[in-house]
């Protein structure tokens, strides 16, 4: 059985919460020698409609949580701030990893580490992760 991608895991988890969501990351085969994946605004893989918070932009990753956090707060800070300054939006980083179902057990389950990003994350003192 093929393992799900972090984006597919995120979609499944959001839908289990009852949210309507869609992938907004696209494959562009015309860039570079082999093509690249392009995120919406360079920072969003999935959009979710949350009746309480509005439109939630989600960046999804596997093991490289710190690298993606750095990408969002440094390389794509302006795009993320533009998103967060728009009324009715939220931004989250989901990092997927396997964790033990119970202490001392062998069963491993996929769980997300979810970081809700705020404007404070884009200030130099807010980036201490």
pLDDT computed for residue 124 by the predictor: 74
CB-based contacts of 102, cutoff 8 Å, min separation 6:
none
- 96: nearest Cα among 83, 79, 115: 115
pLDDT computed for residue 61 by the predictor: 95
CB 126 within 8 A of CB 93: no
> Could you give the CA distance from residue 112 to residue 98 in angstroms, rounded to a whole number?
9
- The topology under which CATH files domain 6-127 is Trna Endonuclease; Chain: A, domain 1 (3.40.1350)
Q: Are strands 89-100 and 54-61 parallel, antiparallel or unpaired?
A: parallel
> Could you give the CA distance from residue 53 to residue 71 in angstroms, rounded to a whole number?
24
- 42: nearest Cα among 76, 68, 3, 15: 76
In the chain, how long is the greatest CA-to-CA distance? Answer: 49
Domain residue ranges in the chain: 6-127
pLDDT computed for residue 32 by the predictor: 86
pLDDT tens digits in sequence order for the chain, 129 residues long: 568 999 999 999 999 999 999 999 998 888 889 988 899 999 999 999 999 999 999 999 998 999 999 999 999 999 999 999 999 999 999 999 988 888 888 888 999 999 999 999 998 765 555
pTM: 0.87
CB 22 within 8 A of CB 57: no
Q: Report the DSSP beta bridge partners of residue 100.
A: 108
Q: What is the DSSP string of 37-58?
A: EE-BTTTBSEEEEETTTEEEEE
């Amino acid at each position: 059985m093929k393992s799900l991608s972090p984006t597919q895991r995120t979609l499944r988890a959001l839908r289990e919460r009852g949210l309507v969501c869609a992938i907004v990351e696209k494959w562009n085969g015309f860039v570079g020698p082999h093509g690249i994946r392009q995120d919406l605004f360079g920072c969003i893989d999935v959009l979710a409609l949350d009746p309480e918070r509005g439109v939630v932009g989600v960046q999804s990753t596997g093991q490289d949580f710190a690298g993606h956090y750095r990408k969002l707060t440094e390389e794509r800070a302006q795009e993320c701030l533009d998103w967060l300054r728009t009324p009715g939006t939220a931004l989250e980083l989901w990092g997927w990893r396997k964790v033990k179902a119970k202490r001392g057990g062998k069963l491993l389950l996929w769980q997300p580490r979810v970081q809700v990003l705020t404007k404070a994350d884009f200030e130099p003192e807010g980036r201490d992760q």
